[in-house]
Structure 1
Amino acid sequence: MKVLILSDTHGMMEDELKEVTERHRDEAEAIIHCGDSELQADDPAVTPMWIVGGNCDFDSRLPDELVKEAGQHRFFIAHGHLHSVKTTLMNLKYRAQEEGATIVCFGHTHIAGTEMNDGILFINPGSLRLPRTRRERTYAIVELTDSEATVMFYDFSGNPLKELEKSFQIA
């Protein structure tokens, strides 16, 4: 199973957002947006997504957090601005543990990366609009099996960023 993960698209035009999501339409079983889309909750570009609100989103219909299941995996999704992700992942880890989630998807930092911490996989897809620490605008796809998660990152055009790819054993 594959899940497409986006974040921090900051007012990206609907056709640009659809270009990325359509590229992976046949392989991704779910699409996650980790906030700061700056779009309304009912915008057609984001309605098929599991989406949360970020600090630059002003539609109160967007939740601060979501817990979703894909296959046997439980995801905790948040933008991260309410969890101090620029200084620590500890708050996200505690919330994921409270929710029984083993995968956390978040944004806010605009920095693409992934890590395993106490059996919880953290994925930040970076930003499709305003990246930090890299020049490429990025998104991620996590491929999940019963025992392994492989996180792959791509630039806006769909080119893989192999140096960021990582695999993890998961429960």
Structure 2
Amino acid sequence: MRIGVISDTHRAIVLAQKAIEQMGPVDMVLHLGDNFTDAVKLAKIFPNIKFEYVMGNCDFGYGDASEKLLEICGRKVFMTHGHRYNVKIGYMELYERAKELGAEVALFGHTHCPMMERLGNVHIINPGSVSMPRCGVQRTCAIVFIDEKKIDYGMIVLEN
């Protein structure tokens, strides 16, 4: 399965739409919050793509769906925005939660800084931001490939 991962769109629907178009064919898009309503709008623009989302720290007033555990091709994928796991100072809390859930992939946003790392048996991925990048990088998103045999991933630097 080929999965697009975006985060921190902050109501920049046109930029998010361009990011999804630049991903090429995807089976699913995972939105990691800030602003989850963008995922709802994008699902209408791309009706043939399944969308999943979580809420971020800017998504107050809608309830609390700040994390989600998916099973994709028999593998567990943990989605969260990251603000509740102190990801701006490190990834250990996020890693521990992923281990607790039995997840092989932990996806988060919040920092607007892209990163891909493996801690133990958990692949930790932040796609960066499609609208407001930080850490001296351009706008980015991620692609995650998951099947029964392997997990692979890559970052996409978005065109202006």
TM-score by length of 1: 0.80
CA RMSD of aligned residues (A): 2.2
Number of aligned residues: 155
Identity of aligned residues (%): 32
Q: Greater helix percent: which structure? A: 2
Mapping 1:103-114, distance limit 5 Å? 103-114=105-116
Superposition map of 1:155-166 within 5 A: 155-157=157-159
Question: Per chain length, whose mean CA-contact separation is higher, i.e. which structure has more relative contact order (CA < 8 Å, sep 6+)?
Answer: 2
Q: Residues 1-171 of structure 1: matches in 2 within 5 Å?
A: 1-13=1-13, 15-24=14-23, 26=25, 28-37=26-35, 39=37, 43-46=40-43, 48-61=50-63, 63-157=65-159
- Contact 2:3/2:143, CA 8 A, preserved across alignment: yes
1:128 deviates by 0.7
Q: Quick one: structure 1 residues 95 and 132, their matched pair in 2 at CA, closer, same or farther if it must change by over 3 Å?
A: same
Check conservation: 2:22, 2:158, Cα contact below 8 A.
no
**Can you give the 5+ residue segments of structure 1 that lack an aligned partner in the other structure?**
159-171
The separation in 1 between residues aligned to 2:140 and 2:100, in whole angstroms, is 29
Partner of 1:163: none
User: Which consecutive unaligned segments of at least 5 residues does structure 2 have?
Assistant: 45-49
